[in-house]
Amino acid sequence: MKLPLDGERGASAQRPGDLLGNVQTIAALLAGILLFAVPLYLWRRPRSAVSQTRPDTALLEAVRDGGAAVAAAPETVRPLPVKLADARVLECHDRGSRKTSPDQCDHVLSFEKALGDAIEAAHDCVPADAGAGSIQYLADLSFGRRRHPVTLALPRDGRSFQNAKLVKECAAGVRARISTFPVTNLQHAHARYKISVVATYGPQSSP
């Protein structure tokens, strides 16, 4: 009877199931290595010249488009500068039949300044393409009217602008600022005043 050698004994002792298990283990190790190595390679691989220059190209296109948008934007029409004449008291009245000549009327200085400030603040109602011109603002200041002590008019014969929309916007802008001016504590000698301020719009009005 022939005895098996040590190598033959080990080979004959190894089962087919053990071989299959070893193959599966090796395959699992290889799969793990691939799962780790492939993403690392893709992440660290050098980028092509095309992909590197793409952000610069996009930046240039954005700058070009932005420049085109600025060039296509409509030009803003700037308002004309305004110069105010000194305020004039055209009328002053008291209760009764007594009349006071304009040269005897006192000035309500705080209100006159507020009226001038309102006109200057609303000067953008006259755009540059309207041309030079003037508007008379006539304020009716009454200390006897509690509800509407200040009213404003723009007489037709006191202005050179005939554009109804322009005149309406100027009247609304000044009226909104002066109609709420507090008059209760103003120093005055008469019950009612009509105060005129002429505003001249145009390049000639700048200092």
Render each residue's pLDDT in the chain as its tens digit; 207 residues.
Answer: 555 555 555 445 556 556 556 767 777 777 777 666 666 666 666 555 444 445 455 555 654 655 544 444 455 556 778 999 999 999 999 988 788 999 999 999 999 999 999 999 999 999 988 989 999 999 999 999 988 999 999 999 999 998 999 999 999 999 999 998 999 899 999 999 999 999 999 875 444
- pLDDT of res. 50: 43
Asked, for residue 177, whether it belongs to a domain, the answer is yes
Asked, for residue 198, whether it belongs to a domain, the answer is yes
Domain that residue 164 falls in:
82-205
- pLDDT of res. 51: 47
Task: For residues 173 and 170, give the distance between their C-alpha atoms in angstroms, rounded to a whole number.
Answer: 5
Burial 68-98 (b: 16+ CB within 10 A, else e): eeeeeeeeeeeebbbbbeebbbebbbeeeee
Burial of residue 7, with CB atoms counted within 10 A of its CB: 0-12 exposed, 13-18 middle, 19 or more buried: exposed
- pLDDT of res. 119: 97
- pLDDT of res. 86: 97
Task: For residues 126 and 167, give the distance between their C-alpha atoms in angstroms, rounded to a whole number.
Answer: 9
Asked, for residue 28, whether it belongs to a domain, the answer is no
150: left (phi over 0), alpha (psi -120 to 50) or beta: beta
Q: What is the pTM of this model?
A: 0.61
Task: For residues 86 and 116, give the distance between their C-alpha atoms in angstroms, rounded to a whole number.
Answer: 9
Asked, for residue 197, whether it belongs to a domain, the answer is yes
The structural domain count of the chain equals: 1
Asked, for residue 100, whether it belongs to a domain, the answer is yes
Asked, for residue 181, whether it belongs to a domain, the answer is yes
- pLDDT of res. 70: 44
Asked, for residue 66, whether it belongs to a domain, the answer is no
Asked, for residue 56, whether it belongs to a domain, the answer is no
- pLDDT of res. 20: 59
For the chain, the C-alpha Rg in angstroms (whole number) is 45
